[in-house]
């Protein structure tokens, strides 16, 4: 670290940090800016950067303060670790490790119960105390002759109906273990930005009694989240199946909780669902012990929505 300095980000450095993350991850600045704008209690201390001798940012780590539910459905303050990036020519100098150590200090000062992150490089974070906490999902072939309907909401309609979507979300998922407690600010910036990505669709009935968020790729359709009237959800998921078949897709993935009402609704999309675990989530104890985390992830109905990824 002798050739580098590390410090909290200065407000005027934010565009430079966005450029760094965009270059390293190949994702537009919208992702990082929506997290920044949509997270409560933002503070320059929460974004740690390492700079070379010229003062240029070459590495960064961000901490997002979130509330997630424990095994009893009670909110716990959690430090989400994201945007861990180092320019290729400055790697192997321990920069991200030092910034992660600073991020841990930040979370301790903020009183975070635990920390949460997503990665495909588990060994790096294991050195600093994070451990795997797999998330559940299901897959099924799509029904050959589905029946259903549903209207795709425009971006403007999604914006208009955000309070209603939030209401439906809270009713079904507000106290669900490991679910995020979504604030109005978070809905306005982070959730809206994720719902309106080009590959995603938000479907609802005319009265907005239920909604489904799906994502299409070249080979499958993924149900990212759903909430609301159970009968309407079944119709919406049947409509998803029809659209998927028209696109030539054969497989569906579900990130909905393992609960009877979700399972029944999903029968309108596929009837041969098998469960699996996605290994990319990791957690770390901060103020509370790791047993609190383990209990939350193992609790009945525990589920994290991909719209809450960071």
pLDDT for position 2: 64
* Residues 47 and 145 reside in one and the same domain: no
Distances, alpha carbon 94 to alpha carbons 53, 86, 303, in Å = 16, 10, 34
* Residues 288 and 191 reside in one and the same domain: no
pLDDT in tens, 211-266: 999 999 999 999 999 999 999 999 999 999 999 999 999 999 999 999 999 999 99
pLDDT in tens, 149-175: 999 999 999 999 999 999 999 999 999
The mean pLDDT of 183-206, rounded to a whole number, is 97
Tell me what the pLDDT averaged over the chain comes to: 96
Work out the percent of the chain whose per-residue pLDDT is above 90. 96
* Residues 111 and 142 reside in one and the same domain: no
- Identify the domain containing residue 49 by its residue range: 5-134+279-308
For residue 186, what are its two tokens? 């978070």
Question: How many Cβ atoms from other residues are within 10 Å of residue 59's Cβ?
Answer: 26
pLDDT in tens, 285-310: 999 999 999 999 999 999 999 999 98
Exposed e or buried b per residue across 247-263, where buried means at least 16 C-beta atoms within 10 angstroms of its C-beta: eebeebbbbbbbeeebe
* Residues 118 and 209 reside in one and the same domain: no
* Residues 192 and 254 reside in one and the same domain: yes
* Residues 246 and 288 reside in one and the same domain: no
Q: Are 242 and 216 contacting, i.e. CB atoms less than 8 angstroms apart? A: no
pLDDT for position 310: 87
* Residues 144 and 269 reside in one and the same domain: yes
CATH number of the structural domain spanning residue 90: 3.40.630.30
Residue carrying the six token digits 């309070």: 163
> Per-residue DSSP letters for 143-202?
PSS-----EEPPHHHHHHHHHHHHHHHHHHHTT-TT-B---HHHIIIIIHHHHTSTTEEE
pTM of the model: 0.93
* Residues 202 and 290 reside in one and the same domain: no
For residue 4, what are its two tokens? 């580098």
Domain count of the fold of the chain? 2
């Amino acid at each position: 670290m002798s050739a580098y300095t590390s410090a909290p980000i200065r407000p005027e450095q934010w565009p430079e940090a966005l450029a760094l993350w965009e270059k390293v991850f190949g994702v537009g600045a919208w992702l990082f800016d929506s997290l920044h704008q949509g997270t409560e209690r933002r503070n320059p201390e929460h974004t740690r950067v390492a700079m070379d001798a010229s003062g240029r940012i070459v590495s960064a780590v961000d901490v997002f303060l979130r509330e997630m539910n424990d095994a009893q459905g009670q909110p716990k303050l959690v430090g989400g670790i994201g945007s861990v990036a180092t320019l290729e020519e400055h790697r192997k100098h321990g920069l991200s490790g030092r910034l992660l150590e600073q991020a841990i200090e930040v979370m301790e000062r903020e009183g975070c119960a635990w920390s949460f992150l997503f990665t495909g490089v588990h060994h790096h974070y294991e050195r600093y105390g994070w451990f795997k906490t797999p998330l559940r999902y299901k897959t099924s072939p799509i029904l050959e002759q589905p029946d259903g309907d549903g209207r795709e909401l425009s971006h403007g309609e999604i914006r208009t109906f955000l309070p209603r979507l939030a209401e439906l979300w809270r009713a079904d998922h507000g106290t669900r273990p490991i679910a995020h407690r979504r604030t109005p600010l978070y809905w306005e910036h982070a959730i809206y930005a994720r719902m309106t990505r080009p590959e995603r669709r938000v479907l609802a009935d005319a009265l907005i009694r239920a909604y489904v968020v799906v994502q299409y790729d070249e080979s499958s359709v993924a149900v990212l989240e759903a909430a609301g009237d159970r009968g309407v959800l079944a119709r919406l998921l049947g409509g998803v199946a029809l659209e998927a078949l028209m696109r030539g897709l054969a497989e569906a993935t579900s990130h909905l909780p393992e609960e009877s009402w979700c399972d029944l609704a999903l029968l309108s999309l596929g009837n041969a669902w098998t469960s699996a675990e996605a290994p990319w989530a990791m957690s770390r104890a901060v103020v509370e012990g790791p047993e609190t985390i383990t209990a939350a992830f193992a609790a009945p109905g525990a589920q994290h929505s991909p719209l809450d990824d960071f």
